[in-house]
Amino acid sequence: MIQADRLLTDCHVATMTEGGVPYGAIEDAAILIKDRRIAWVGARADLPVHEAVETDRLEGRWVTPGLIDCHTHLVFGGDRSGEFEKRLGGATYEEIARSGGGIVSSVKATREASEDELFASAMARLEGLKASGVNTIEIKSGYGLDHDSELKMLRVARRIGREGGVRVRTSYLGLHAIPPEHRADRAAYVDKAVDDILPAAHAEGLVDAVDAYCEPIAFTQDEVSRLFEKAQSLNLPVKLHADQLSDGGGAALAARYRALSADHIEHSTEAGVAAMAKAGVVAVLLPGAFLMLRETKLPPVDLLRKHGVRMAIASDCNPGTSPVASMTAVLNLACVQFRLTPEEALAGATREAARALGVLNEVGTIETGKAADLAVWSITRPAELAYWLGKPMLYKRYSHE
């Protein structure tokens, strides 16, 4: 007999496991939960002998893994709605960045904000993501760009993980932009980011992975390689903002270091995609940034399929290029803009997003032994999650917390 804390019944389950029916679907299903983990999942007719403290009858709703937003910049000060207006007036992202806007404009506001202020503003954005079914989120630093401010951002991210009702994975993004005080001596900043800030953040237990922005307006392959070598010496996995604005060889660089993921990749070549496939690097597609920047160069989805590269999707929630706080909107945009199928999109926001964060052993699919991080939806079929844009569909979240 299974002793359970909770039985979910009268539901359908999209397990998102591979190798079987679409969505790994189980019609007329049941789930047993014990100690916030999945004790059993299957057809209701096969429900084993059990005792459950509580029973939730879900009236034919669909249950999926809790959605996973595997690329966000959720913690920042201020906003950049003025740059949004400039872009609508014709200015490019690169022009805004080179004129002192962009990331650097968020640095000043982030440095000036207290930890409590950053926490409060991030929690407001998190509410939108949670309302769209998110149970796990990655949060990057990268708007501090000095020792104290980078650690401040990462402490806020850890606090969100403790108090926000979501699982949080942190990424140190010290190589995001050159801070204003180092414009005349970028080498000194790279030294500081690699040899000072990262080791300090790691020593404080604030870092789960290390990220970098590899672009002509950001950092070179050599600079990123220095950071990645340091990360590997600390036994930290890496990931990369790669080939968003140009073909800078980012996909191949990510593959060289067996990164968890290469993100954006609109300009990646077939050679880069093939290298990602060989190294097991997940491609993280970010349709919110593509939309907001009005880009026209699509990520190489057909090449990713051809070479068997796993595809995740994420909000890229940030103040400048992707002020997006809804993962169901991201599902829709991934299908409409990038031509993913609804099943690929949902896999990208569950199983493959978990893979991109290195947490697939815990979340991302509904399987016995995994955390009971679940989302319940008032829908009649899973494709609706990518079909509707703006319709509230979430009925309930179950969290490991």
φ, ψ for residue 209, nearest 5 deg: -155, 165
Query: Under a CB-based contact definition with an 8 Å cutoff, are residues 213 and 177 in contact?
Result: yes
Has 135 been labeled as part of a binding site?
Answer: no
CA distance 197 to 350: 32
Has 143 been labeled as part of a binding site?
Answer: yes
Has 244 been labeled as part of a binding site?
Answer: yes
Query: Under a CB-based contact definition with an 8 Å cutoff, are residues 52 and 384 in contact?
Result: no
Has 241 been labeled as part of a binding site?
Answer: yes
Has 318 been labeled as part of a binding site?
Answer: yes
Has 221 been labeled as part of a binding site?
Answer: no
Beta bridge partners, 4, equal: 52
Has 80 been labeled as part of a binding site?
Answer: yes
Has 361 been labeled as part of a binding site?
Answer: no
The candidate with the shortest Cα–Cα distance to 33, out of 15, 8, 1, 64, is 8
Angstrom distances, CA of residue 38 to CA of 2, 34, 346, 364, 370: 11, 6, 20, 12, 6
Query: Under a CB-based contact definition with an 8 Å cutoff, are residues 6 and 63 in contact?
Result: no
Has 321 been labeled as part of a binding site?
Answer: yes
Has 296 been labeled as part of a binding site?
Answer: no
CA distance 212 to 224: 6
Has 61 been labeled as part of a binding site?
Answer: no
Annotated binding-site positions: 71, 73, 80, 143, 176, 241, 244, 316, 318, 320-321
Annotated binding-site positions for Fe(3+): 71, 73, 241, 316
Annotated binding-site positions for N-formimidoyl-L-glutamate: 143, 318, 320
Annotated binding-site positions for Zn(2+): 71, 73, 241, 316
Annotated binding-site positions for 4-imidazolone-5-propanoate: 80, 143, 176, 244, 321
